[in-house]
Amino acid sequence: MWIRWPADFRYRHFDPRHAALAPKNTEKESQIVDNCIFCKIAAGKIPAKTVYEDDDVIAFHDIHPAAPVHVLIVPREHIPTLADANEKHTALLGRMMVLAPKLAAELGGGYRHTPEGPMGGFKTLVNSGPDGGQEVYHLHLHVMGGPRPWRSER
């Protein structure tokens, strides 16, 4: 006899990365945040090659860069995925997007207009969920740039 499980059963019951799908439990949620590597980096408990920080975000070099310039912009607030963001996060998400080209330019991966035409450039990427390729369940924006070819893109 086959048992028909709900589509999200695996995530709710076996995969701790999917806190948004788990039953709401304050103690469980605080454990996930306490075990979040990006929360620890933002709190200064784990070192990182920081390139920018303010009260709302921190930006640091990716430990496995996929491009000559590859930094992560991470909100200090623990938001598991982009799908978990809501209207109260609008300003924060906007600040992250405005910061991306500034950091890319400062680190040598910026986009610019020249008499010969457009030069340089960068890419932004947010992975969300397992099928979106998310590995760390704390929202983060990848900023990648620099001369091509890059190694395998994420």
Active site residues: 140
Residues sharing a CB contact under 8 Å with residue 143, sequence separation 6 or more, in sequence order: 59, 69, 70, 71, 72, 73, 100, 103, 104, 109, 122, 123, 124
**Rounded Cα distance, 154 and 89, in Å:** 25
CA 129 to chain centre: 11
Specify the 3-state DSSP secondary structure of 73. Answer: strand
Number of alpha carbons in the 13 Å side-chain half-sphere of residue 36: 27
